[in-house]
Amino acid sequence: MNQTPKQSCFIIAELSANHQGDINVAIETIRAAKRAGADAVKLQTYTADTITLDVKNKYFKIDQGTVWDGRYLHDLYKEAFTPWEWHKQLFDIAKEEGLVCFSSPFDFTAVDFLETLETPIYKIASFEITDIPLIEYVAKKGKPIIISTGIATIEDIELAIKTCKEAGNDDITILKCTSQYPAKIEDANLLTIPDIASRFNVKVGLSDHTLGITAPVVAVTLGAAVIEKHIILDKSIGGPDAHFSLDEGEFKSMVKAVRNAEKSFGTIDYELTEAKQNSRAFSRSLFVVEDVKEGDIISSENVRSIRPGFGLHPKHLKSILGKTFLRNIDKGEPLNFDMIQDS
């Protein structure tokens, strides 16, 4: 998790609810994440009762312009949660596949449970950024902590970071996130990524809910050290998060695009390699463009800047206009100072 600008972006495949209550689907999704090139797979550790109440009043009914509007929170989370008895097997499968496996806890009991699984990282979900007691409890475990900012104000981010540091944890990554499902690409506001890095002096990344792969690729060019994106085995299985998740092929395309973007960074380079030097032959230079005789006046009609690059640098054109030729020269000869009367 200790990223530097020269290290590869840490790409997380978010399983979330994309298992439809079938552990075999969850296992195969982890394997798909590996095939797609992810570095890690992330779970969510909660039950409907640890995250909300089974109450059917207006406060617990979703009515925020989402695809889940009309549903009650407890019902949605009861459908979407990942059974805790699956976790060890999923962690083990991920390890066998060479993937980092970790989770987002949503209460203290989830943190305690994840500690028994020796989770290497913790993720604080966007809507939990205001749960300062939870953040403090997680931070005290001394492991890297990733925090999403989907609903956060600057003050929320400041307080979350301050809480981690006061708990003795400086390994903090803040993810730009837009809490829309799916998020509109025009609402991604990815310029926030470098601002987070400079404003808060932390590692930075993107938790992305837009459709497609454009936002993650752009985020990497803006300094994102972490990319988190939902993955699903097959969108046809449906589920709460299916509509904004990537299938294996799409996720693989995202990883490839991100890795190619990283390759394009290279280094700061103004040196002329042998190949670049050879290519300068195709640059512009001064040529004699019509037959001239000794004593003729150099003018814009008989000398021009053209390709290729075997004559004088075009910067000399103004200074030689009006001078005379020292000898007869055929059209198509590169102009050199030894052809010009120096006076």
- The pLDDT, as a whole number, for residue 314 is 97
Average pLDDT over residues 227-251: 90
Q: For all residues of the chain together, what is the average pLDDT?
A: 93
Q: Please give the pLDDT value at position 63.
A: 85
CATH architecture entry for 10-46+81-265: Alpha-Beta Barrel (3.20)
pLDDT band for 343, please (50, 70, 90 cuts): low
Q: What is the pLDDT of residue 112?
A: 98
Instruction: Please check the confidence at residue 3 and state whether its pLDDT lies above 70.
Output: no
- pLDDT tens digits, residue range 35-57? 999 999 999 999 999 999 999 99
Q: 68 or 24: whose pLDDT is higher?
A: 24
Q: Whole-angstrom Cα distance, residue 105 to residue 86?
A: 15
Give the model confidence (pLDDT) of 157-192 as tens digits. Answer: 999 999 999 999 999 999 999 888 788 999 999 999
For 103-108, what is the mean pLDDT? Answer: 98
Q: Please determine, for residue 90, whether its predicted confidence score (pLDDT) is greater than 70.
A: yes
pLDDT in tens, 258-284: 999 999 998 888 888 888 888 888 999
With 90 as the cut, is the pLDDT of residue 304 above it? Answer: yes
Give residue 150's pLDDT: 86
SS3 assignment for the chain: CCCCCCCCCEEEEECCCCCCCCHHHHHHHHHHHHHHCCCEEEEEECCHHHHCCCCCCHHHECCCCCCCCCCEHHHHHHHHCCCHHHHHHHHHHHHHCCCEEEEEECCHHHHHHHHHCCCCCEEECHHHCCCHHHHHHHHCCCCCEEEECCCCCHHHHHHHHHHHHHCCCCCEEEEEECCCCCECHHHCCCCHHHHHHHHHCCEEEEEECECCCHHHHHHHHCCCCEEEEEECCCHHHCCCCHHHCECHHHHHHHHHHHHHHHHHHCCCCCCCCHHHHHHHHHCCEEEECCCECCCCECCCCCEEEECCCCCECHHHHHHHCCCEECCCECCCCECCHHHECCC
Torsion of CA 193, 198, 204, 205, to 10 degrees: 10
CA–CA separation, 279 vs 84, rounded Å? 62
4, pLDDT greater than 60: no
What pLDDT was estimated at residue 133?
98
Q: Is the per-residue pLDDT at 205 higher than 90?
A: yes
pLDDT at residue 68, as a whole number:
74
The CATH class for the domain spanning 275-339 reads alpha beta
Q: What is the DSSP letter of 70?
A: T
pLDDT value at residue 271: 86
Half-sphere exposure (Cβ direction) of 256: Cα atoms closer than 13 Å: 8
- 6 pLDDT above the threshold of 70: no
Q: How far apart are CA 170 and CA 178, in angstroms?
A: 24
Q: Is 251's pLDDT higher than 90?
A: yes
| Residue 2 reports pLDDT greater than 70 | no
The domain locations on the chain are 10-46+81-265, 275-339
